[in-house]
Amino acid sequence: MPSQLLKDPKRAHHYRVEIGLADRLRNSSRAERKHLYSSVYEELFREVPYHSQLVHKSQETLRRAELQKLFETLRPFLNPDTVYAEVGAGDCALTMMVAPHVRKAYAIDVSETVTRGVSAPNLEVVLSDGISIPVKATLIFSNQLMEHLHPDDARDQLANVFAALEPDGKYFCITPSRMNGPHDVSRGIDEVARGFHLREYTNRELAGLFRSVGFARVQALAGIRNFQMTLPVGVVIAFETIVGCLPRSLGWRVSNLPILRRILGVQLIATRR
């Protein structure tokens, strides 16, 4: 284990626990994963009580700015007729912010622990097996979720997202880019994600998955300074291709430049026709 990890006992413990649990997921069968997503996350939260998803509940000031930024990103897609579903809602803080602005809000997650105590008007917490989407919605949102799915399950969940959307409904997905990763507990330790980021994606890969389940239109959202704009996903893929031609270490440094992080960051909006 790298020496820099050993200097922080909490991080060392978190690393060991998460890598072990992630390996259980990676090596599991499809049938086992119907229950395994919930159990490994419950075990992680028991073994790592200082995990960021739990600590955020007690760090409201720090969390509020992050949530407000996400809410402002979502705002153009919200209206009083929207039926909103957030997949991988975690502590449901964002879903609670959205709920007053829409007709109905669903918070979907695999963990009863992280969603415990959540209650708000117009909001319903739904526990899932990690793959199913047991609601109907006009807007489905996920943030930092796709990378946590077993690669064999990603397409199945996307097919369920597609089926859960009403006609002309949208799926807005934010996930870390592999170009400047890893982004899980192994960042700064390993060259690729080894923890609960079972696979980190590029825009090209994820857009291809979206189209494979039936999404006819896929766009990229790019935020630069205080502006956000939708772009043809091909524009972002072109940037990925150029950076991907560079030697690995140089490509990683270039893709972590602030402006390229915002362009290459995987923020895709897929529309069901």
What residue segments make up the domains of the chain, in order of their start?
A: 3-215
Q: Give a three-class secondary structure readout of 89-122.
A: CCCCHHHHHHHHHCCEEEEEECCHHHHCCCCCCC
pLDDT of residue 4: 55
Please give the structure tokens belonging to residue 262. Answer: 């915002």
- Which strand ranges, in their side-by-side order, compose the sheet holding 165-175? 123-127, 104-109, 83-87, 137-143, 165-175, 266-271, 217-224, 227-232
CA–CA dist 67, 95 (Å, integer): 10
pLDDT tens for 179-235 read 999 999 999 889 899 999 999 999 999 999 999 999 989 999 987 667 788 999 999
Q: State yes or no: pLDDT of 52 exceeds 90.
A: no
Which region, left, alpha or beta, applies to residue 247 given φ > 0 means left and ψ of -120 to 50 means alpha? beta
Cβ neighbours of 4 (radius 10 Å): 11
Contacts of 54 (CB under 8 A, 6+ apart): 45, 114
**Residue 252: pLDDT above 60?**
yes
Average pLDDT on 160-187 reads 96
CATH 1.10.580.10 assigned to domain 3-215? The reply is no
Name the DSSP class of 31. Answer: H
CA neighbor of 200 nearest in space, from 234, 154, 249, 235: 154
Q: What integer pLDDT is reported at residue 73 of this predicted model? A: 93
- Quote the DSSP letter at residue 195: S
Identity of residue 43: E
Residues paired with 231 in a beta bridge: 220
| Dist CA 178 CA 44 (whole Å) | 24
pLDDT reported for residue 61: 63
Q: In 3-state terms, what secondary structure has residue 187?
A: coil
**Predicted confidence (pLDDT) per residue in 72-93, tens digit:** 999 999 999 999 999 999 889 9
pLDDT at 257 over 80: yes
Task: Record the tokens describing residue 139, joined without a space.
Answer: 């807007």
Q: What is the DSSP letter of 24?
A: H
What is the predicted pLDDT for the residue at 90? 87
| Predicted pLDDT of residue 68 | 92
Residue 1: predicted pLDDT: 45
Q: What is the mean pLDDT of the chain?
A: 91
pLDDT at 2: 53
Quick check: 56 pLDDT over 70? no
At 58 the pLDDT is 56
| Residue closest to 157 by CA, chosen among 219, 98, 206 | 206
